[in-house]
């Protein structure tokens, strides 16, 4: 197992004044950090799920502008609950010494109606560190991570669509 590494989140949140739903992950994976944008592991199903829920084509793997545009066109803000922490590789189970992100900053600037957490770790960390400051409870959705093999792409899309219906622009 790799040694612990101190990670500081290096990308800005994606949001604008029309964002109605905030999707929160835990922390960018090692591949996402290498690729400098959210859900940069091509095996992660996040972009396929969001595109399917929005009724749009899936943006190309390296096309950050298209991914950002897809989110903003549909009123989706995207960030993570962790500003910095110690972690082994990309293992959410190893996370310790958490400093939460300034998620209220997004909520002050955008009319967010719902907070959705991508997976249980993001949900637990949001509830522990951010929910009191944000004033919005979060709904925890099944993780789009390739580690969540119990959920097929079709099943993920169906579950995420249940929460996103009525929220997407």
Could you list the active site residues?
44
Contact assessment for residue 148 and residue 142, using Cβ atoms and an 8 Å cutoff: yes
Residue 33: C-alpha distances to residues 11, 103, 137 (Å): 9, 19, 28
The alpha carbon dihedral of 20, 25, 27, 33 has a sign of negative
- Backbone φ, ψ for residue 27 (5° rounding): -160, 145
Which residues, other chains included, contact 129 with Cβ-Cβ below 8 Å and sequence gap of 6+? 81, 98, 100
Residue 129: C-alpha distances to residues 46, 50, 111, 117, 121 (Å): 24, 26, 21, 13, 12
The position carrying tokens 């899309």 is 157
- H/E stretch holding 124 reads helix 120-125
């Amino acid at each position: 197992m790799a040694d612990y590494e101190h990670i500081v989140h290096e990308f800005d949140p994606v949001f604008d004044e029309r964002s109605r739903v905030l999707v929160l992950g835990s922390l960018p994976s090692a591949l996402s950090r290498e690729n400098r944008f959210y859900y940069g592991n091509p095996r992660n199903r996040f972009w396929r799920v969001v595109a399917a829920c929005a009724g749009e084509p899936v943006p190309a793997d390296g096309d950050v502008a298209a991914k950002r545009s897809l989110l903003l066109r549909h009123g989706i803000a995207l960030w993570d609950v962790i500003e910095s922490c110690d972690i082994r590789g990309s293992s959410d189970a190893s996370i310790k010494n958490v400093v939460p992100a300034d998620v209220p900053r997004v909520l002050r600037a955008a009319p967010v109606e719902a907070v959705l957490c991508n997976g249980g770790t993001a949900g637990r960390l949001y509830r522990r560190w951010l929910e009191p400051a944000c004033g919005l409870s979060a709904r925890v959705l099944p993780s789009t991570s390739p580690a969540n093999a119990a959920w097929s792409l079709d099943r993920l899309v169906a579950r995420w669509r249940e929460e996103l219906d009525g929220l997407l622009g």
